[in-house]
Amino acid sequence: MELTPDAQSAFGYQDYAARERIDGIEIVELKRFNDDGGAITELGRLSQGVHGQLAGFEVKQLNFSTVEPGVIKAFHLHHRQTDVWYVPPTDRLLLVLHDARKGSPTEGVTMRLMLGDGNNRLIRIPPGIAHGCTNLGDKSATIIYFVDVQFSIEPDECDEGRLPWDFCGAEIWEMVKG
């Protein structure tokens, strides 16, 4: 088959190659159990605060957050705290991660991950990784997250800092078309 000159000049193949993963980002696929009455997903088993599927991660606080459609909540990072995020499969959030750790093997690498969207998984975000999200769905989306440092507003104890929402460029938040 031959393409028209216009089509031939615009033609290309989609890139399905694996993207570089930021050092320390861990993805844990979770099993969803369905029956006639609904579904259940186990987010983790704790033994004296230690999460069974995330080696060395001791849960100190659980949080529930919502993000309205089209909203961008970014970027923030922690010096000591590890986050573990879960987005229900019924919601659809784009998570953007950027390795801001000086000297890291993946320093400067940026990742985009779709959370929810039919999937059940936990994402471990270590200290020094700037992270934020945008709701690509048409209804309010939920994030349930575990942290290993309790939040404090006291300046000498606060572990949360901010970077501008467009630190990685405004286009990072745009839905990929094509």
Each domain of the chain, given as residue ranges in start order, spans 20-31+45-149
Beta-carbon count within 10 A of 46 CB: 13
| Residue 142: both structure tokens together | 């939920």
Beta-carbon count within 10 A of 7 CB: 9
User: The whole model's pTM is what?
Assistant: 0.87
pLDDT in tens, 59-99: 999 999 999 999 999 999 999 999 999 999 999 999 999 99
CA atoms within 13 A on the CB side of 76: 12
Beta-carbon count within 10 A of 40 CB: 10
pLDDT in tens, 120-171: 999 999 999 999 999 998 999 999 999 999 998 888 888 889 999 999 999 9
Q: Using an 8 Å Cβ cutoff, are 74 and 132 in contact?
A: yes
Fold of 20-31+45-149: Jelly Rolls (2.60.120)
